[in-house]
Structure 1
């Protein structure tokens, strides 16, 4: 039986250029310095998942009353706290487990995103089919990010100066607008303005995936020019 691979993972160049990155990093460092010992990265990861479940539950329950949307808003804050703090705390305490942390964190991110977006689609404000367009766009960009780690050693965490935190703030604003304006038809008597917005965001993510794929492929083609097999 082959021995398990215990070699340390190569460091990943994290590219984060979102608008709030610098201030968010200061806040996270401040929080890390004040976390009690019983708070561990794994517990923060599961806290983030609890937040995502609350977001999902709030959207689904909003079919029975708009007040349930406050549960979704609270869930976004809990999800941000857990998702942003787990890796930050591990790096702050110098207790990183690079392969384990990378695998668990991004696996939970995928599940959390699915819960959030499907929850929006199961509310009375956005059609599930429209919400799934946004989910497809997000997952395509996630695939691009994970492939970039493999071929470039880079993990791109933001696009168009926006990252997960900015996206959460957009979704919180969207949720507040749901409570303020309700679901009024906008196009063809079927789609609401929320459908248009969510579908537009999903379409933009898909376009970004196509553009980033073309840019990365061109970069790799320069680094690995074709070989003349004829000698």
Structure 2
């Protein structure tokens, strides 16, 4: 995905330092080179959303039978493929639409995150309130990334050496643990171990938002002070 910039905006630098970034990029480049002509970036974006709906359905139906969680796992794979490939293919074919791509990609990201966490909350494994706090944490960090792209020209795609791909793998691992362990209340009664796991991730996301906001605010204050003193 190409980030938009206008005459009054600084050039935007994508910062991606997650553990799997280099190997994932090699795989995406190979897939782009072998993608048939009829596959378009918009089709891949739609495919990613199909994957997000599959994740929601798999979690939400897991109360009926645990095997529905396989649908959620398959959905993660489909969502990764569509979400990672749409911008990559546009850049590979040099058919980027920066403003359109930025708007659609991040609009879909927000909806996909809602579907995933709402599905978890509708499952018997994770409380809805815990899932919604995790959703709030993710959206807060996303808001920071979009604001930072505008005010300092940096679009951060990873934190603590982890990005969306590492997070998906973590959630797939949690889903496999759901299948293996089943649901059982933990030491805190109605709060399960899966609630604690997602709650810790939620707290980490909120903490990262606060830390990154303070850090960016300090940079901006220094930069603006230097401009005033000139």
TM-score with structure 1 setting the length: 0.93
Distance 2:188 2:15 in 1: 41
Corresponding residue for residue 70 of structure 2? 70
Regions of 4+ moved over 6 Å = none
Corresponding residue for residue 51 of structure 2? 51
Per-residue deviation, 1:227: 8.6
Distance 1:195 1:165 in 2: 21
CA 1:190–1:99: 2 relative to 1, 3 Å:
same
Distance 2:71 2:215 in 1: 40
Local SS of the residue matching 2:155? strand
Corresponding residue for residue 171 of structure 1? 171
The within-5 A match list for 1:88-167 is 88-167=88-167
User: Once the two structures are superposed, what CA deviation does each residue of 1:47-94 show, in whole Å capped at 9, x if it has no partner?
Assistant: 000000000000001010000000000000000000000000000001
Distance 1:185 1:58 in 2: 21
Structure 1 gap segments, 5+ residues each? 1-7
User: Once the two structures are superposed, what CA deviation does each residue of 1:87-127 show, in whole Å capped at 9, x if it has no partner?
Assistant: 00000001100000000000000000000011001100000
Per-residue deviation, 1:12: 2.5
Per-residue deviation, 1:189: 1.1
Corresponding residue for residue 184 of structure 2? 184
The within-5 A match list for 1:184-223 is 184-223=184-223
Per-residue deviation, 1:188: 2.2
> For this pair of structures, how many residues does the alignment match?
222
Structure 2 gap segments, 5+ residues each? none
Corresponding residue for residue 79 of structure 2? 79
